[in-house]
Structure 1
Amino acid sequence: MLRARTHLTPDDLSAVADLERRVVAHDGGRLKIEWEDLRARASDPGDGPTTDLLWTTPDGRADGYVGFDSWDGRTVELVGMVDPDARGRGIGAALLGAAVQVCRDRGFAQALLIVPRPSEAGHHLARRLGAPLEHSEHALRLDTPPPPAEEDPRTTLRAATTTDLDVLAELLTAAFGQAPTHLAASFAAGDTLAVEHDGAVVGTLRRPRDGSSGGIYGFAVAPEFQGRGIGRDVLRRVSRAFFDEGATSVRLEVAVGNDRALGLYTSVGFRRVQTEDYYDLPL
């Protein structure tokens, strides 16, 4: 049965986590499920828009799932999965059809379906819906602390504040084409950092922690300060801090074709665990 959720109950979280374990055990790789966001939804009163779709059996087991994640209020990313033993029953098509309608109802301008490269069924479903490939990303993971290296004392990291809003928005727009609409709100969580070099803000990143895994997102260095070793220095510091805090891995994503960034990450020890294709669903 298809169920739309405006918030997630503890039972929902458990059912999605069990489904993820079954899917990854069968397919390998990983699924880009933002568990930090899902757990936040569990504390939401549930009077907002649909954030998750579940396909459940009468006993509460989840055989399918689609979640919605938007960082800028305009584009939404969709991640979905179907239990290996329940595939071929039309569950994926039903979930995705409902997801497209949710995206329309919520007024998103673009919906990107994330499909792991090895998922033949996912690619087939995206093509059947007439969704062109928009871009692809490598998912990278670091499982051991990077080796010690000399830190540049001119480069410092600190929590971003609202006074940094304009410069960080400019940095993110230069790096990614646009800045998130909720950038200021992200400062409250304390995981958005400003990178200073000789007292000037030259970079930024977000470093959320999800259980035993750390994440690095929105990592940008001003173009005029690139090539000076600042990015590598910051990446090492942030990664080592995660491990010092008890994390067992650090994750990030990089666009396929961005060889410069990929070279930076692999030089610190990150390795590719999966490539993911982003399909532009017609809304």
Structure 2
Amino acid sequence: MNQRSVTGEIKTEVTASDRANIARLIEDYRLYEGVDCLVSLEEMLAPSGNKPAQLLHYQGDTLTGFTYLQHLRPDSEIEIYGMVHPDHRRKGVGTTLFEAAKAVWRRRGASGLLLVCDGALPSGKAFASANRGEYRFSEHRMVLDPANIKRPQWSQGQQVQFRRAEATEVPILTHLVSQAFEASEEAMENWITEAISADNQRFYIGLLDGLPIGSLRTVSIGEQIDIVTFGVLPPYRGRGYGRQMLLAIVDLLLEEHWPNIALDVETKNANALGLYESCGFRTIRTCDYYQVIEGGPARS
């Protein structure tokens, strides 16, 4: 589907030539800004059940801007990641893509819309401010450094059993995820049923004396695998069980020889940040999230 605008054309279907153009845009962005794109090309162009996930802005045959829409869970907001070519800024490209992204949000009926910016770039913050973005929170992107893993000695009787969840255990996962993240069980059940069948996703369960107390999920794109949806039931928090689960999945992924193991954590979540650092993760960048407020945007 293509959509004409006063500043060019919006495309939502990505062809092989579009993919090459996006790769060149990402490289030009990296050279100009001095930082990598927040999301890898492989992840942005991976198949999605919530199309369109990509919005491309063309001026003639030139790709001038690109936006990726990410919708992680049914209870979460849609996240917007975007870039405009350095030679085409302040010409309305960013605003056109932003308005197209808001139209997608309205059609999907998601709970909200978040604009994601690299915390090191003033340009992202300026765009969010000009478009009435209200700062919500920041997240650290962390990657595993196996040399820095600290392994405590566990006392007897405190061992968590850790295993991969089976497709028949959707009800158990639904209970664990909905309780850990205070989300609707109905929405979680539908999402987990779909996610657990995806080739690049796996769910795991932590058990204490046979009782499920926590879960996590891994999502792989190319050579990278992310640890996500990691939660422990409230009564079992602060007792070391989450650490056991995290180290168990880290060891499993290292045994599988994943070269890039990563996760995200809110900057204000001191307990989680300390846990991840002690388990060998280090921060490589920080992202700022801005809540999109409806209103008249500025040109960009």
Report the TM-score range of the alignment, normalised by the length of the smaller protein. Answer: 0.7 to 0.9
In structure 2, the partner of 1:155 is: 160
Residues 109 and 228 (structure 1 numbering): CA distance in 2 closer, same or farther, change over 3 Å?
A: closer
Q: 1:30 offset after TM fit, Å?
A: 4.5
Mapping of residues 1-283 of structure 1, within 5 Å: 1-5=8-12, 7-25=13-31, 26-28=33-35, 30-33=37-40, 35-36=42-43, 38-41=45-48, 49-59=51-61, 62-73=63-74, 75-144=77-146, 147=149, 149=151, 154-178=159-183, 180=188, 181-189=190-198, 190-283=201-294
Residues 62 and 243 (structure 1 numbering): CA distance in 2 closer, same or farther, change over 3 Å?
A: farther
Secondary structure of the structure 1 residue equivalent to 2:133: coil
State TM-score, norm by structure 2: 0.80
Percent identical residues: 28
Q: 1:150 offset after TM fit, Å?
A: 7.4
1:151, 1:21 → 2: CA distance? 46
Unaligned runs of 5+ in 1: none
User: Contact 2:23–2:41 (CA<8 Å) still a contact in 1?
Assistant: no
1:132, 1:19 → 2: CA distance? 28
Unaligned runs of 5+ in 2: 1-7, 295-300
Superposed CA deviations along residues 132-175 of structure 1, whole A, max 9, x for unmatched, are 11222111111446648479794233332355334433333343
**Large movers: runs of 4+ above 6 Å:** 150-153
1:151, 1:242 → 2: CA distance? 21
Structure label with greater radius of gyration: 2
Secondary structure of the structure 1 residue equivalent to 2:196: helix
Q: How many aligned residue pairs are there? A: 276
User: Contact 1:191–1:207 (CA<8 Å) still a contact in 2?
Assistant: yes
1:233, 1:167 → 2: CA distance? 20
User: Contact 2:44–2:54 (CA<8 Å) still a contact in 1?
Assistant: no
1:4, 1:276 → 2: CA distance? 27
Aligned residues: CA RMSD: 2.7
